[in-house]
Amino acid sequence: MNCEEIRVDMREMTQEDLAEGARMMQLVFRLNHTMPQTPEYAEILGELFAERIGEGSYLAAPLSGAAFDRIRIGRHVYVNSNCLMMARGGITIEDNVQIAANAQLISNNHDEYDRMILTCRPVLICEGAWIGAGATILPGVRVGKHAIVGAMSVVTRDVPDFAVVVGSPAKVVKTLDPEGFAKAGE
């Protein structure tokens, strides 16, 4: 994953950028006010993510964030309610990921001196990872394959494959046995 920081000057947004941002905000509003598990809900979700969401994936309302056009979601992903996705730096969620309620995926921040400048680095949630309730994933972080981020953890650094991290800042407390996933039928 390329974690180089990019800087975005919000004063230089084009009319097209602003119009697309408004369109996405309106789609998120509609999604958040539509009966879940209905064809209308699925249609809005499909319009918001277009070809960037895989088969069998579902995001539960309410959802909030920005730059939804920079989010890629794999197959069979479940994102529970109240997820914040600040995606200016890009967010990729691979297949079979579970994200619990109130999680925050944040790929952008503000420059310390010029708040109109966004500092952006991508977030990558690898295959089979599980993000616990209320966890926060910060810019530039890679959560490894089958890793677990404990509830309310703040992840400031990459999480190795098969690691279990907890706390603020999150620290590795356990490493899962990769063979356990093979035995579980994966």
Residues with catalytic function: 110
Residues forming beta bridges with residue 164, ordered by sequence position: 148, 174
Distance (Å, whole) CA 174 – CA 163 = 6
| Residue that the structure tokens 């277009």 belong to | 50
Query: Which residues are CB-contacts of 156 (< 8 A; sequence separation ≥ 6)?
Result: 138, 141, 169, 170
Query: Which residues are CB-contacts of 161 (< 8 A; sequence separation ≥ 6)?
Result: 126, 144, 145, 146, 147, 178
Distance (Å, whole) CA 105 – CA 91 = 8
